[in-house]
Structure 1
Amino acid sequence: MKIQFAPLHLPLSRRLQTAAVLKWIFSFLALAQCCLTAFVLLLLSDYWYLAVLYGAWLYLDRDTPASGGRRSPWIRNWRLWDHFRDYFPITLVKTTDLDPKHNYIFGFHPHGILVAGAFGNFCTEATGFSQLFPGLTSHLLMLPFWFKIPFFRDYIMGGSLVSSDKSSAAHLLSQKNGGQVAVIAVGGPPESLDARPGALTLQILGRKGFIKMALVHGAHLVPVFSFGENELFNQVENPRGSLIRAVQESLQKKMGVALPLFHARGVFQYSFGLLPFRNPIHTVVGEPIAVEKNSNPSRESVDQLHKIYLEKLVQLFEANKTLYGIPESKHLVLI
């Protein structure tokens, strides 16, 4: 394989963008392990009492990730995230105003490999979420497992990440004053196994938990499609029925997290590595679907609202696809 090296002379802005994305990749792939190691080393050191004190705090604070988290405006507004945004770049596209008197569930599609669009748009202010949607507070739901890791859990909560368990979503959507947005990557980790350039497969037909949650709390549903999300990484071929896919799906069921074998470019060369490609991401927030509160929805009402949601999602995709580089002949594949 011929290696394509990066030019020696690049503007400082591009160097900063690469550094910001490198930091983000590190946070996703290694920061949790480093935090856990640091806690263990602290526990085994002469300063073990600090680890014990933090452990006590961890126990007392255990419900916070499912109670709205602990968002930090300071972390959300780091200059670092502007460089992260500009690397791709990422753009948040608003199609209509959203009334802050209501609570919302944003259904984010597709999951992609590392949900870069969801992170950039809803965990930081780099794309201007608060200015585009005044009065709304966004929270990206993440697997509960990550909030059990010392130090790491406090960092991710600062960026508006909260636990994805039912009690967490219920806490957000039951706020009587409204203005809360629960952002859910509906396809979840399993959908990441289909993420590769050109892929338009969404795992959604059997996913109705977020629909029932919307009905129970009367939260309005908003389909969100992130164009370019699947173009950030290549993935080792893993067709359904293959040995690789069987192993990945087995590990996903046991561990709760998917393990896509992805690759893209490196820091100093463009031929291989774990940095994403510089591909534009346009995250389009669709029109809200009004939902009447029903504390005990029937299966039929859930199915009916799910059907409406699918129709609105497909309409959002079809209305915008040619604007963002998808041929008219391409359509979503819903499974």
Structure 2
Amino acid sequence: MVTPGQIDLVLERRKGFVREAIMAGASLVPVLAFGENDLYAVFHTDDTHPIARLQRVVRRHFGVALPLFRGRSMFITEFGLMPNRKPIAIVVGGPLAPPPLDDARRAAFRPKWGPDDAPSNDDARMVDAMHTEYVDALSALYEAHKEQPWNLAGINRQGTFRVLK
């Protein structure tokens, strides 16, 4: 998932933060960091590697996959847990205001999706619409700032911006 020079966001099916923002009446602010994936060297293994099998067992039992990574140290520059010294450029978009809800509607707000991830009620359609607006705002931030001269991490990128499941 972590590839240097590329931005992969696991966001397509993550809609809980949008639901919470709507319920709280809080605006969502799109923020994108260029160069974040360049801070650590992540080791990618094929599925038959013993480390990959160990990672699957840990993920199955604990619900989290632990990547093998390498950073830098204060003394030994080749190995450590501190991030490598790479440029990061963080860009912030304008706030996205949620649709207004009165107290009665907020108390009854229960978005539901069907088995095919299609919205089953108006609340889910509202969440989907705001989620789409948020993802579009992130894409617009990427397109607007990827080639800026001050954005060294964006200029040195090798991949693109992708939203994954």
TM over 0.5: yes
Do the aligned residues in 1 keep the contact of 2:4 with 2:158 (CA within 8 Å)?
Answer: no
Q: 1:317 is matched with which residue?
A: 142
What is the alpha-carbon distance in structure 2 between the residues aligned to residue 224 and residue 265 of structure 1? 26
1:269 matches 2:76: yes
Distance 1:206 1:238, change over 3 A: farther
**Structure 1 residues 219 and 195: CA distance shift in structure 2, 3 A:** same
2:63 maps to 1:234: no
How far 1:254 sits from its partner (Å)? 3.4
Q: Map 1:45-64 onto structure 2 (within 5 A).
A: none
Moved over 6 A (4+): none
| AA at the equivalent of 1:280 | P
Amino acid at match of 1:289: L
Number of residue equivalences: 141
Alignment of 1:249-264 (within 5 A): 249-252=56-59, 254-264=61-71
Distance (whole Å) between structure 2 residues aligned to residue 299 and residue 253 of structure 1: 30
- The two structures, once aligned, show a CA RMSD in angstroms of 2.4
Q: Which amino acid aligns with 2:127?
A: V
TM-score (norm 1): 0.38
Task: Tell me, yes or no, if structure 1 residue 211 matches structure 2 residue 35.
Answer: no
2: CA distance between counterparts of 1:320 and 1:203? Answer: 21
- Provide Cα deviations, 1:15-62, integer angstroms capped at 9, x if missing partner: xxxxxxxxxxxxxxxxxxxxxxxxxxxxxxxxxxxxxxxxxxxxxxxx
What is the rounded CA distance, in whole Å, between the counterparts of 1:304 and 1:261 in structure 2? 37
Q: What pairs up with 1:88-127 in 2 under 5 angstroms?
A: none
Partner of 1:281: 88
Task: Map 1:156-235 to 2 at 5 A.
Answer: 194-235=1-42
The change in CA–CA distance for 1:305 and 1:247 in structure 2 (over 3 A counts) is: farther
Post-superposition CA distance 1:195-244 (Å, at most 9, x none): 242232110001000011111111101111112211111011146x5654
Cα offset, 1:245, TM superposition:
4.7
In structure 2, give the amino acid aligned to 1:334: V
In 2, Cα distance between equivalents of 1:292 and 1:246 = 45
Pair 307,200 (structure 1): closer, same or farther in 2 beyond 3 Å: same
Alpha-carbon distance in 1 for matches of 2:40, 2:127 = 35
- The answer to whether structure 1 residue 334 and structure 2 residue 163 are counterparts is yes
Deviation sequence 1:140-184 (CA, Å, 0-9, x none): xxxxxxxxxxxxxxxxxxxxxxxxxxxxxxxxxxxxxxxxxxxxx
SS in 2 for 1:222: coil
- C-alpha displacement of 1:304: 1.1
Alignment CA distance shift 1:284-1:272 (3 Å): same
* Structure 1 stretches lacking a partner, 5+ long: 1-193
